[in-house]
């Protein structure tokens, strides 16, 4: 089968499309024929091996695992002996290891049935972005109906899900984005949209119960000024490949220390692969409360170009690797 592999850290030039053996599922796994996949910042972090502490898990000098990709949707081909809840032919989606390939094996416990009313491309766009938004707002932010939430970076891969999920939860949603994305963010459910090129949201008199920052380009003090005294600030990612590797780690440490001296909660989020949460996202797609926003499509052989586009930081929603261009 064809798969993207990388054997050294670096730019997108290290990614190669090669023939590799097709995997065989273990007893608790399913073999999936991938119909679509999606690109995440996680992919270029792993590809470049940054920030440096990541290499304690991914490999110090070179990657331990040569495959790449997480978000995917496809069809079950075969099931392991211990799998009872899936069968060949089932359409599934989830976050797996090695999604940039024609086939992948994954534990049945981390994939869910694909909604019948969405395409494989739409389903592939959901897992990491949707799980991050859902778990951040529900578990970290404890967002309640009627509360004010601000999504900074509302037009991105996580932000577009955060806006829609916040609306579904009954919150009053303010989205922050650039001029070209104002209509998009308003269209997916933000009651108020702030164009950061024209207005500084941290200088307004508005106060928020939850702030979800997906950009990482402002001092923490700016956000705390517009956060309610007992509000929650949630940080997720931020910065591109040109950002010094230690900046993100230093920011997290600073956030943790400052959190000791305030009633405001300052937290981070790292999404967990959770079948139950995927099923919630499936229900939201079925009902139309969540509609994945897809910016561009690439073929599997075009993955380096897709990664470069995502690294540039201007993607609107998700970047998808899809059929009929998948190979």
Q: What is the pLDDT of residues 104-123, one digit of tens each?
A: 999 999 999 999 999 999 99
Q: How far is residue 136's CA from residue 237's CA, in Å, rounded to a whole number?
A: 12
User: What pLDDT was estimated at residue 171?
Assistant: 98
Residue 103, classed as helix, strand or coil, is: strand
- Maximum average pLDDT range among 202-206, 241-245, 299-303: 299-303
pLDDT digits (tens, 9 = 90+) for 280-294: 999 999 999 999 999
pLDDT at 260 exceeding the cut of 90: no
Mean pLDDT of 191-202: 96
User: What pLDDT was estimated at residue 241?
Assistant: 39
C-beta separation of 171 from 147 below 8 A? yes
Q: How far is residue 260's CA from residue 276's CA, in Å, rounded to a whole number?
A: 33
pLDDT digits (tens, 9 = 90+) for 17-70: 999 999 999 999 999 999 999 999 999 999 999 888 889 999 989 999 999 999
∠ at Cα 72 (67, 75), nearest 5°? Answer: 110
Token pair for 128: 């990491």
Total Cβ atoms within 10 A of residue 228: 15
pLDDT at 306 exceeding the cut of 80: yes
Domain boundaries, the chain: 2-126+292-322, 129-268
Q: Which CATH superfamily is domain 2-126+292-322 in?
A: Medium-chain alcohol dehydrogenases, catalytic domain (3.90.180.10)
pLDDT digits (tens, 9 = 90+) for 71-101: 999 999 999 999 999 999 999 999 999 999 9
pLDDT band at 248 (very low <50, low <70, confident <90, very high): very low
User: What pLDDT was estimated at residue 54?
Assistant: 86
CA distances for 112 relative to 22, 27, 81, 165, 227, angstroms: 22, 17, 18, 19, 36
User: What pLDDT was estimated at residue 326?
Assistant: 54
User: What pLDDT was estimated at residue 204?
Assistant: 83
Mean pLDDT of 178-197: 97
pLDDT at 258 exceeding the cut of 80: no
C-beta separation of 80 from 39 below 8 A? no
pLDDT at 261 exceeding the cut of 90: no
CA-based radius of gyration for the chain:
20
Share of the chain above pLDDT 90, in %: 84
pLDDT band at 324 (very low <50, low <70, confident <90, very high): low
Cβ-count burial of 47 within 10 angstroms (0-12 exposed, 13-18 middle, 19+ buried)?
Answer: buried
Is the pTM higher than 0.95? no
Token pair for 42: 């996680």
In which element (H, E) is residue 318 found? strand 318-322
User: What pLDDT was estimated at residue 62?
Assistant: 94
- The number of CA neighbours under 13 Å toward the Cβ of 31 is 15
CATH class of 129-268: alpha beta
């Amino acid at each position: 089968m064809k798969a993207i592999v990388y054997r050294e850290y670096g730019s997108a030039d290290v990614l190669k499309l090669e023939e590799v053996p097709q995997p065989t599922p273990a007893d608790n796994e399913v073999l999936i024929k991938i119909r679509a996949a999606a690109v995440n910042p996680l992919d270029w972090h792993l590809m470049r091996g940054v920030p440096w502490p990541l290499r304690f898990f991914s490999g110090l000098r070179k990657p331990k695992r040569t495959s790449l990709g997480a978000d995917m949707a496809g069809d079950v081909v075969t099931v392991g002996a211990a799998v009872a809840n899936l069968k060949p032919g089932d359409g599934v989606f989830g976050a797996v290891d090695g999604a940039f390939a024609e086939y992948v094996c994954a534990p049945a416990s981390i994939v869910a049935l694909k909604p019948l009313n969405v395409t494989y491309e739409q389903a592939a766009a959901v897992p990491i972005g949707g799980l991050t938004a859902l778990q951040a707002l529900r578990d970290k932010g404890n967002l309640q109906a009627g509360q004010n939430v601000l999504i900074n970076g509302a037009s991105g891969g996580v932000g577009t899900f955060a806006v829609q999920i916040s609306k579904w939860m009954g919150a009053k949603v303010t989205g922050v984005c650039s001029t070209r994305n104002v209509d998009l963010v308003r269209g997916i459910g933000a009651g108020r949209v702030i164009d950061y090129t024209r207005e500084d949201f941290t200088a307004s008199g508005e106060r928020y119960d939850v702030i979800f920052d997906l950009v990482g380009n402002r001092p923490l003090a700016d956000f705390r000024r517009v956060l309610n005294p007992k509000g929650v600030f949630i940080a997720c990612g931020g910065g591109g490949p040109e950002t010094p590797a230690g900046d993100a780690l230093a920011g997290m440490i600073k956030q943790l220390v400052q959190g000791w001296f305030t009633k405001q909660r300052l937290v981070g989020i790292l999404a967990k692969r959770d079948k139950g949460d995927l099923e919630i996202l499936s229900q939201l797609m079925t009902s139309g409360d969540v509609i994945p926003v897809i910016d561009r499509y690439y073929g599997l052989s075009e993955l380096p170009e897709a990664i470069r586009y995502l690294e540039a930081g201007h993607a609107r929603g998700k970047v998808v690797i899809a059929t009929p261009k998948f190979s």
